[in-house]
Chain A
Amino acid sequence: MALVDLDFPEQLERFGVDTTLECFNCGTCAAICPLIHEHFPRKIIRYAQLGAKDRILQESDELWRCLHCGLCTYTCPREVNPGELILGLRRYVVANWRGTANV
């Protein structure tokens, strides 16, 4: 069970992502993604919306699968820029490893 934490999408703004909550979970990004890997990137973006930090850290290796092809960003109907969101989440994860995520 995930406990919602809306501080997290705000925290992500410091990692260069301010569109987290604009995503309406349509799944176009997951459909167009050439990785065809589970629900990537839709699922990890949903975790970011909920502020489910544990899940993001647990499944953080997912973030490094991304090829930066840009198809999700190109097709996103809400112009959320999912590719950039993945990069922001990577920066968060790296900072977390360094112990600087909350700085």
Chain B
Amino acid sequence: MVDTEKESEMQSERKVGVYVCRCGGNISDHVDVERVCEQTSKIPGVVVARQDMFMCSDPGQDLIIEDLKSGTIDRVVVASCSPDLHEMTFRNAISRAGFSPYVYEHANIREQVSWVHHGDKATDKAARLVAAASAKAKQLQPLDPIRVEAKRQAVVIGGGIAGMRAAKDLATRGIKVTLLEKSPFLGGRAAQLDRVAPTGELASDIVLELADAVLADPAITVHTCAQVTESEGYVGNFTLGFKRQPPESQEDRDRIKQMAESGKGIGEVIPFVGVCPAQIPETSEEHTVEAGVVVLATGIKPYTPRHGEYGFGDFKEVITLPELIKIMGKKKDTTTFLELNGRTIRSVAMIHCVGSRQIPGIHEEDETGYMNEYCSRTCCTATLQAANIIRETYPGTRVFDFYRDIRTYGRGQEELYEQAAKNKVLFLRFEAAEAPVVTQNGRSNGHPLSILVQDTLTFGEEVEVPVDLVVLAVGTEPNNVSDLAGMMKLPVGADRFLQEVHPKLRPVELSVAGVLLAGTCQSPMDMGEACNGASSAAVKASSLLTRGYVELDPFVAEVNMDLCAGTGKCVEACLQEGALRMVEIEEDGKKVQRAEVNPALCTGCGACVAVCPENAINVKGWTLKQYEAMVDMIVSGEVAA
């Protein structure tokens, strides 16, 4: 800690440069920018106060860089838009001039001034905000970023297509990977598919290709039947506890049974089951694993229709699309008609958007109060793919397709829609509020069910379609990751999918540093998109880990050991577990308790600063002294414009 006298002496030598942006009129139409500069230049310590049409432009940034390089200034204030937009722009400019990016203070005079105030009041408020920023800038220290060592290891949670892709890509970059899969099988939802659109490849071939690559890679350790039980640490240094235990769920047991029946063993692919990479544990065992990054690939599950939704549960002839895919995938015959449990299926109805694109007021919430308002994206293509397979394999079976909108997005997928029309599938379109009604067929035409629909393609006329089978194109829901989300403090969206930092600019990162997203845990997507996401997550992870360390912003709490009295109040107030703790140290031959900050975990929230009775703890870059200087300036009459 610098002593107060020396510090104030140093402050008096500081040279602050203030740069006021006109934002092409966005600011200068309401704020008298010249006047703000004039007032600001009167503040002690401010050596230049300039203005520019666009401070964020190259010539604008060059003003700062030149003044720093010539020794005119050593602290910088830019008054412009929200720091959210350009704080980093100006910090980077300062770095390019060879200075610490932390000798910078930002004043927001657009969103907080020119967009909400007008006339003299706007100019006055702008002048006060700039003066406050200048006063704080005088006290800024050239802080160093926090450097945290990063372990060159990754944990991937989820052994579906995305998890396997991410694991393999990480291993290729020389990073050791632990892949944790909840079930006994690799392959996830992809393993439950037959031929995938639009190429018609067998999903089991794709799963096997990737599983072989993962299992053959010495850098990857796969643990199946593994459930994450604990998570602690931070970017570069996570520790995860997990439990391997005998499978409990009915789905897992069914799949184990199918594996036994198939006669196939470890490492072989079983269609609609997956690849079992290792013996299934008979007892429960606990492990821990360390990692620099964690990739989440926790995936999705198909929506389960409510009892009575389109006759589901009421009529045995109503099934879901995943069920149909499985049934047809296992049949290898080519007969005129599709046969199902000994029944000849002469006509099939397929209904889209079941459990997707739900609308409040029209659809019912599930038992947990949720509603799937999103489009599940892959079901249109999957439905049409199944329709084409039916028409091409069982030419006698007719297909009726009930849709709200056809959304066969992506390369080669619209062609499936056209192909379905060429295959003589009849399309009928309904409005969400007038969903088709599945009933017992009253006519004696041999079809057990009948569907009534207000067909918008026939201008709203009611059309009746007698059918033998109804297939519901169910949407997707994220797997329940509430335990993981709780443990790792992961942001979950209103739709229950994990939420990225920015959907366009940072699509695979989470706000928790070092935790990345791969595949459908983020949103419904097809296998290609899931692999895209997984590969991006692997690249992001390796760019975090390959330097061997991670740099974090230095705005964290710092204890002044001269003042700390060891009251422990800060530790009680701390909101981030592990960020603050009491340690025993020796002082003048006596053992005393003092607070200690873990900078990698501290979020700089300031809860500790507020409770310390000794003023012994401060957040670097946002100290109480800096706040006091700002407040003094805001209320000072001298800076009024």
Contact = CB atoms under 8 A, between A and B. Distances in A.
A70 B97 CA distance: 70
Interface string A31-49: 0000000010001001101
A3 B452 CA distance: 9
B463 interface: yes
B483 interface: no
A16 to B, nearest CB: 17
Interface residues of A, number: 19
A9 B427 contact: no
A36 B240 CA distance: 70
A22 B458 CA distance: 16
Interface in B454-494: 457-459, 461-466
Interface string B438-462: 0000010000000010000111011
A36 B422 CA distance: 28
Given A9-B424, A24-B427, A4 B400 contact: yes
B457 A46 contact: yes
Contacts of A78: 418, 421
B289 to A, nearest CB: 53
B635 interface: no
A50 B443 CA distance: 18
A6 interface: yes
A4 B464 contact: yes
Given A49-B426, A78-B421, A25 B457 contact: yes
A4 B463 contact: yes
A1 B418 contact: no
B425 interface: yes
B398 interface: yes
A52 B461 CA distance: 12
A50 B426 contact: yes
A17 to B, nearest CB: 13
A6 B426 contact: yes
Interface in B411-434: 417-418, 421-422, 424-427, 429
A88 to B, nearest CB: 16
B424 A46 contact: no
B426 A4 contact: yes
Given A25-B457, A50-B458, A2 B422 contact: no
A6 B463 contact: no
A50 B463 contact: yes
Nearest to B450: A3
B426 A21 contact: yes
A102 B443 CA distance: 23
Contacts of A22: 418, 421-422
Given A4-B426, A78-B418, A43 B462 contact: no
A47 B455 CA distance: 12
Contacts of A3: 443, 463-464, 466
Interface string A8-22: 010000000000011
A61 B466 CA distance: 30
Interface string A63-103: 00000000000000010000000000000000000000000
A49 B427 CA distance: 9
Contacts of A47: 458
A24 to B, nearest CB: 6
A2 B463 contact: yes
A2 to B, nearest CB: 5
Interface in B71-122: none
Contacts of A21: 421, 424-426
Contacts of A1: 452, 461-464
Nearest to B452: A1
A7 to B, nearest CB: 10
Interface string B338-360: 00000000010000000000000
Nearest to B422: A22
A52 B425 CA distance: 16
B383 to A, nearest CB: 15
A9 B425 CA distance: 11
Given A46-B457, A50-B426, A24 B421 contact: yes
A52 B464 CA distance: 11
A24 B456 CA distance: 12
Contacts of A49: 426
Contacts of A6: 347, 398, 424, 426
A62 B425 CA distance: 26
Interface string B529-565: 0000000000000000000000000000000000000
Contacts of B418: 22, 78
A78 B459 CA distance: 20
B442 to A, nearest CB: 11
A79 to B, nearest CB: 10
A24 B428 CA distance: 10
B399 to A, nearest CB: 9
Interface in B306-334: none
A9 B462 CA distance: 19
A78 B400 CA distance: 19
Contacts of A23: 421
Contacts of B459: 39, 43, 46
Nearest to B424: A21
A55 B458 CA distance: 12
A21 to B, nearest CB: 4
A20 B421 CA distance: 9
A46 B424 CA distance: 13
| Across the A-B interface, the 3 shortest Cβ-Cβ residue pairs | A21-B424, A1-B462, A25-B457
28 contacts: A1-B461, A1-B464, A2-B458, A2-B464, A3-B443, A4-B400, A4-B465, A6-B426, A9-B424, A21-B424, A21-B425, A21-B426, A22-B418, A22-B422, A23-B421, A24-B417, A24-B421, A24-B427, A25-B429, A43-B458, A46-B457, A46-B458, A47-B458, A49-B426, A50-B426, A50-B463, A52-B458, A78-B418
Interface of B: 347, 398, 400, 417-418, 421-422, 424-427, 429, 443, 452, 457-459, 461-466
Given A9-B424, A25-B427, 6 more contacts: A1-B462, A3-B464, A4-B466, A43-B458, A46-B459, A50-B458
